Amino acid sequence: MTLTVWLYTLLCVGLTINIYRPVLRHPRAMVYSFFAGWFAGELALQLTLIQMLLTVVLIFSHSFAGIMGMVALVALLANWLALLRYYYQGRALGPQLDSNLKKGLGNNYRQEINSDLASGLQLEPDFMTELNPFRRNRGGVTVTSDVAYGHEGLTLDIYRPSITLHRPAPVLMHVHGGAWMYGDKVGQALPLMLHLARLGWVCCSVAYRLSPRATHPDHITDCKAALTWIKANIADHGGDANFIAVTGGSAGGHLTALLALTANDPAFQQGFEDADTSVQAAVPFYGVFDWTDRDQLQHNSGLRQILERTIVKDTTLAQPDIFSHASPLLRIHEHAPPFMIVHGDRDSLVPIGLGRKFAKALTEVSEAPVVYSEIPGAQHAFDIFASPRSEHVKLAVARFLTTCYSRYLNQISG
């Protein structure tokens, strides 16, 4: 057996081990582990098929000769079984997500959904969508890009149904992630926004200033400025300014939760202090809910270094109030809007314990519904493209938001 085959076998097995046991303790290795686990995990079926094809080619070239070749083939077979197990774990996620929704919204939540809104909701993902995970089906959706929202030269993109809307549509505002330093409004949450737009929602993906040029609270101030523009102008695009939900992942999850919990806080909306910045629902994905790390849940010092050196540009010891006020975990109150918190239990970058802590604290205090969905096997950013996990979660988020909107409609009509 050749060295190339050994290296190939070790690579295949190593990718699968990393899916199940990602690196957590070393800041730099953690990032590499995340990227490898993210792609390999969410593309487990495709990866299995590719590895099988390559292995067949190598077998016909007599690369798996001798006892060691047989050992390598057995290792690859075990590896494929582990990948397929991971894949089917994602395929079986639907009942768990529905149970989470029932726990947070009530056992009869589906019966509360407006009949006009319920017809388009799905319970099971489309298998063909999962097979072609990077395809962006924009059918039935009109996209208006780079709409200026009148703050620091920033813009947002609007996704709306192509059909004529006969009544104002509920609105979703999306805040992208990227450690408050990277990313843009184009590349994230597209599966969710396109899906909701086809269901009759108007979705806005907003840009905000990025560090190191930006310093906290610039990021949250920009998001609140975008929300203010949306409330004032979304009716021109068919949206209902009276029902706006907000979502985002990672840094965007932090900003989503912070925005939802700090409505009308003048410290975060300087220059438009009198604007109404309340929202009607929030769906943070794997958010950084505590900048103080008071419970020492972070795996290593990587996040603290980013926050102190690049985002806040000061230390936790020197400015404890800044870090506390920026932490959604420490801003929880009884009048919070409905929340659906989504977090993967294999997240390398943001510890699952933080999601659990935030969900528990919010449930204990908030008078509104709180849904906590812990996704088995999911890495950070698992929802960026179509996969069994991301598609199931997309459909569950749509049911959560539609339930919240139906309750809003019932409230204003009754």
Give the Å distances, CA to CA, from 48 to 17, 21, 40, 390.
14, 18, 9, 19
With tokens 């190593």, the residue in question is 14
Q: CB–CB of 190/136 below 8 Å? A: yes
With tokens 């698992």, the residue in question is 382
Tokens found for residue 188: 């994230």
Give the DSSP letter string of 58-88: HHHTT-S-HHHHHHHHHHHHHHHHHHHHHHH
Q: State how far the Cα of 51 lies from the Cα of 8, in Å rounded to an integer.
A: 9
What residues are paired with 218 via a beta bridge? none
Sign of CA dihedral 27, 32, 35, 41: negative
Verify whether residue 347 is a known catalytic residue.
yes
Catalytic residue among 218, 293, 347, 383: 347
Verify whether residue 250 is a known catalytic residue.
yes
Q: State how far the Cα of 45 lies from the Cα of 67, in Å rounded to an integer.
A: 29
Neighbour order of strands in the sheet with 169-175: 141-148, 155-161, 202-206, 169-175, 239-249, 281-285, 339-344, 370-375
Phi-psi domain of 135 (left: phi exceeds 0; alpha: psi -120 through 50; beta: other): beta
Catalytic residue among 380, 387, 392, 406: 380
Q: CB–CB of 29/44 below 8 Å? A: no
Verify whether residue 162 is a known catalytic residue.
no
Give CA 258 to chain center in angstroms.
15
Catalytic residue among 205, 250, 366, 406: 250
Q: CB–CB of 342/285 below 8 Å? A: yes
Please provide residue 387's backbone torsions phi and psi, each rounded to the nearest 5 degrees: -155, 170
Which residues lie closer than 8 Å to 356 by C-beta, 6 or more apart? Answer: 343, 372, 374
Provide the angle, in degrees to the nearest 10, between the axes of the packed helices 388-413 and 94-105: 30
Rg over alpha carbons for the chain, rounded to the nearest Å, is 22
Tokens found for residue 400: 């959560």
**Cα atoms in the 13 Å half-sphere on the side-chain side of 196:** 32
Which residues lie closer than 8 Å to 393 by C-beta, 6 or more apart? Answer: 93, 97, 342, 373, 375, 382, 383
Looking at the annotation, which residues are catalytic?
Answer: 250, 347, 380
